[in-house]
Structure 1
Amino acid sequence: MTRSASPKSKSKKAQQPPQPFLHTPDSLPAPVMAGRDFLSNLDTSPEELRAILDTAASMKRGEWRNVKPLQGLSLALLFEKASLRTRTTFDVGMYQLGGHAITLSNQEIGLGTRERVSDVARNLERWVDGIMGRVYLQHTLHELADHAEVPVINGLSDMLHPVQLLADYQTIEETVGPVQGKRVVYIGDGNNLANSHIHMGVLTGADVTIVTPVGFEPNGAVLMDAVRRGASVTLTSDLAAVDGADVLYTDVWISMGQEEDGARRRRAFQGYQVTPQMLERIAPQGIFLHCLPAHYGEETVPEATEHPKSRVFDQAENRLHAQKALLYHVMGQMKPRW
């Protein structure tokens, strides 16, 4: 005689959580930047950026565990500047997607000194499937891209830091929701982070405010281009702009290579330090972000990065997910050469 399930067993089965969605090789989204360079956030359209951020969120949920879309592909990591987050996340990201990363320091390559940048590009394109550069000059990345047939990714330059902004906006969406119309207030030096925030304002419709002392403004051409494109961007030195912000963001006052100008910069930025008291001025559900490393005692203090409104370490984690998503959308249609 067949016995029917008891009410208890039916109830228990009904209470089981749904199984998470897992991608298969046949269910992956189409790469939206196949084979293209990513030197600036503006190298994507709003729709392409949306696809990258959606993929990053999917990867963070663990939905890509069963697939290795970059199997057999290699990425060269070129470093003129020291790195913790960029190096680790690109290396681990390639591994998790089935590929391989090789790290090359400036001591080994000597971009523009030991070898011409164009020659480095022409060599690497014969061996690897992509190049990531963390360099001093934006021009170096453009020279690499001009002479390499494989895609080039900007891991940081003097002008822009676009991969960081992918992780930043993933973090913003996770915590404060859709970014269109949200007030993103950047306080501090008008450096590569400030320029890239302006670019993201163009792409997302966020209301971006740059708060910086007179003489330390972001790049004028970046700002004017954003205004021409209809972005909501405000430039001010008034700290009152912090009040009610949905996102408060800061970065170091003294970037690598600016150490000789440190004393002047510290004087100019007095009062622009993000403290717990300043975080009480942002929106009740607002968050604090910092791309790290932090120079505690200058642009912020440990009590701010450990504050309940801080999402600094979630932001650092998202470097991995966002860059994996970017790597997939740039390299996901490539086939191994061997």
Structure 2
Amino acid sequence: MVRSLLDVDDLTATELDTVLDRAAELKAHGDGQPLEDQTLGMIFEKPSTRTRISFETGMTQLGGHAIFLGPDDIHLGHGEPIKDTARAVSRYVDFIMARVFDHADVVELAEYATVPVINGLTDDAHPCQTLADLLTIRERFGGFDDVSVAWVGDGNNVCQSFVVGAAMADLDLTVATPEGYGIADNVRKRAAALGTEPETTHDPEAAVADADVIYTDVWVSMGQEDQREQKLADFEGFQVDDSLVGDKTVMHCLPAHRGEEITDDVLESDNAIVWDQAENRMHAQNGLLTWLAEQE
């Protein structure tokens, strides 16, 4: 059976540990070229700096090759059904990574592909970011025991995957969002089924009071530009600034809108580990790719 990663709980808790262990090992020592002569097809409906560079460089490090397939290069859902694209591309490549808007599209890709499909981001989930986040927290604190994280901001796709990943890692998590911007009920239920449902609040100061880590993301995600003015008003009081941070560690998946969800001073401070997160996208994905290659 072909294994794919559409969200982080497509892995078991044990498999998650294995992928993170593999990522840490590859980061520390490398592992030759375990994916020599293998190819990753990278489908992009949404542009990205970190996703493209981390996957493409990672495949090179692993001895393989990556092909960028932008919206002008293929007919994903436009002129050709997604299921046909999935079956045809599977005949050429060993893995497919898709960064798309509609989560249903990546689900359909995985249904019809005969190679592993990796969700590089959809409007509902961003599991590769969660793998990098967990790897970064583990590095920073030596594990997950007694680590408390506060998410401050929008209950968006990054937040929702992190909620699930935090439950799998048994991380203590509080999510602070404005009213109407919380995590979806099905995400809360998945986290609860995995063992750890997050606390939720509309008060950022209460959320971070006992936290070791504050995590935030943009308030206006790609494709939501028409909601910008409304969101800026709704998120007043949720900015991660010096007064909220104190001596706590700060995470952000990037790109950041400096001066909105996070101040420039905080992002440039020694509290921020955002560049470790960015680097760990590649290492976490390398761990995932090599693990997926062994599941066939």
Q: Structure 1 length normalisation: TM-score? A: 0.84
How many Å apart are 1:201 and its aligned residue? 2.2
Pairing 1:255-334 to 2, within 5 Å after superposition: 255-280=221-246, 284=247, 286-332=248-294
Which residue is 2:3 aligned to?
36
Residue ranges of structure 2 left out of the alignment (5+ in a row): none
Distance in 2 between residues matched to 1:77 and 1:175, nearest whole Å? 30
Residue 162 (structure 2) aligned to one of 197, 205, 220? 197
How many Å apart are 1:181 and its aligned residue? 3.9
Tell me the secondary structure at the aligned position of residue 131 of structure 1: strand
Paired residue type of 1:266: L
Which residue is 1:163 aligned to?
128
- Give the length in aligned residue pairs: 295
How many Å apart are 1:333 and its aligned residue? 6.3
How many Å apart are 1:63 and its aligned residue? 3.9
Aligned 8 A contact 1:69 1:332 in 2:
no
Which residue is 1:68 aligned to?
33
Which residue is 1:18 aligned to?
none
Q: Alpha-carbon deviations, 1:227-280, whole Å to 9, x = none?
A: 244314111101221113111100000011110011100000011011122110
Paired residue type of 1:274: V
Pairing 1:56-205 to 2, within 5 Å after superposition: 56-64=23-31, 67-205=32-170
Which residue is 1:55 aligned to?
22
How many Å apart are 1:81 and its aligned residue? 0.3
Which residue is 1:17 aligned to?
none
Aligned 8 A contact 1:180 1:204 in 2:
no
* Root mean square deviation, CA, Å: 1.4
Aligned 8 A contact 1:94 1:101 in 2:
yes
Residue ranges of structure 1 left out of the alignment (5+ in a row): 1-33
Distance in 2 between residues matched to 1:198 and 1:105, nearest whole Å? 30
Distance in 2 between residues matched to 1:159 and 1:180, nearest whole Å? 28
Q: Alpha-carbon deviations, 1:115-143, whole Å to 9, x = none?
A: 21111101101111110000101101110
How many Å apart are 1:332 and its aligned residue? 4.0
Distance in 2 between residues matched to 1:61 and 1:244, nearest whole Å? 32
Change (3 A) 1:129 1:63: closer
Residue 253 (structure 1) aligned to one of 219, 224, 227? 219
Aligned 8 A contact 2:23 2:283 in 1:
yes
How many Å apart are 1:61 and its aligned residue? 1.1
Paired residue type of 1:46: A
Tell me the secondary structure at the aligned position of residue 184 of structure 1: strand
Residue 218 (structure 1) aligned to one of 180, 183, 187? 183
Distance in 2 between residues matched to 1:297 and 1:78, nearest whole Å? 32
Aligned 8 A contact 2:189 2:197 in 1:
no
Tell me the secondary structure at the aligned position of residue 108 of structure 1: coil
Residue 13 (structure 2) aligned to one of 39, 42, 46? 46
Q: Alpha-carbon deviations, 1:286-325, whole Å to 9, x = none?
A: 4100000001111112211111111011111111111111
Distance in 1 between residues matched to 2:115 and 2:257, nearest whole Å? 36
How many Å apart are 1:331 and its aligned residue? 1.6
Aligned 8 A contact 1:136 1:158 in 2:
yes
Paired residue type of 1:206: L
Tell me the secondary structure at the aligned position of residue 218 of structure 2: coil
Q: Structure 2 length normalisation: TM-score? A: 0.96
Tell me the secondary structure at the aligned position of residue 213 of structure 1: coil
Paired residue type of 2:242: P
Aligned 8 A contact 2:170 2:195 in 1:
no
Q: Alpha-carbon deviations, 1:68-97, whole Å to 9, x = none?
A: 110111110000001100000000111110
Aligned 8 A contact 1:70 1:332 in 2:
no
Tell me the secondary structure at the aligned position of residue 128 of structure 1: coil
How many Å apart are 1:108 and its aligned residue? 1.7
